[in-house]
Amino acid sequence: MASTSDTTSSAPCTDQLKDKQAWRRNVWKQDTVAHLLNKDNTIVELKSKEKKTPEIRRVHKALLCFYSPYHDRLLNGEFAEGLAAPTKPLVINAGASVLKLLLTWLYTGQVNMGLPIEGNNDGVEQWHIGTAKLYIFADELNCVALQRSIMSKLVESCKTTPSLVGFDTIGLLRREEDDGRMRDEKHKIDVLQAQVPC
């Protein structure tokens, strides 16, 4: 018969294992991606939200589910999509450009957005809008590793183009599409926390 202390000592080990597994989701690693791609060949299709000409992209289910807890619950849980393989592409709440950035990041670990060029205000605005949209989408998916990569890219842009102010992104995003005050405020706080002296 196990003593009370035996059962309590095994609980922290289980919690530590869960914490370690959860942490792996929060950091993109080439080894993890290679392991996931070798583990399962199942492909799912994602469809961008555009009405006229949506873009459909294919992605390895294991990779998507590992870094996106939202898709993990959707495709491996008790939802209809998890009980049987989806027959139609899954529509995501993002445009084609954000979908492409997400998939590029999943496979390479890179937020594939060139840094804006100082002096080109239109390019700077578009860069910040794209970065904010990608961050908001990563937040919807609860994809912490992507959020961290995006924040690193923002800091990098601040270092290379000191006149860029990330806080302007919030106003630009609000003008382009009103996605709700709470998401804007969360992004603003995250930008403030990551801001380095420029």
One pLDDT digit (tens) per residue for the chain, 198 residues: 444 444 444 555 556 556 667 778 888 999 999 999 999 899 999 999 999 999 999 999 999 999 999 999 999 988 888 788 788 899 999 999 999 999 999 999 999 877 666 665 666 777 778 888 999 999 999 999 999 999 988 887 776 665 545 555 555 555 544 445 445 555 555 555 555 444
User: Token digits for 163?
Assistant: 């006149």
- Rounded CA separation 56/135 (Å): 21
Could you tell me the residue range of the domain that residue 120 belongs to? 111-198
Residue 72 identity (one-letter amino acid) = D
Which residues make beta-bridge pairs with 47? 56, 91
pTM to 2 decimal places: 0.71
Query: According to the model, what pLDDT value does residue 68 have?
Result: 93
**Same domain (yes/no): 160, 196:** yes
**Same domain (yes/no): 116, 89:** no
Residue where a domain terminates, one of 95, 121, 148: 95
**Same domain (yes/no): 56, 135:** no
Residue 104 domain-assigned? no
Q: How long is the chain? A: 198
Query: According to the model, what pLDDT value does residue 118 have?
Result: 63
Residue 176 domain-assigned? yes
Distance from CA of residue 60 to its chain's centroid? Answer: 15
Query: According to the model, what pLDDT value does residue 186 have?
Result: 55
**Same domain (yes/no): 62, 128:** no
Helices (H) and strands (E) in the chain, counts: 10, 3
**Same domain (yes/no): 196, 124:** yes
Distance from CA of residue 174 to its chain's centroid? Answer: 20
Residue 3 domain-assigned? no
**Same domain (yes/no): 68, 129:** no
Helix (H) / strand (E) containing 71: helix 69-76
Contact residues for 77 (Cβ-Cβ < 8 A; gap 6+) = none
Residue 102 domain-assigned? no
**Same domain (yes/no): 140, 89:** no
Contact yes or no for 132/153 (Cβ under 8 A): no
**Same domain (yes/no): 141, 66:** no
Q: How many domains does the chain have?
A: 2
- Rounded CA separation 91/14 (Å): 36
- Rounded CA separation 190/57 (Å): 29
Residue 69 domain-assigned? yes
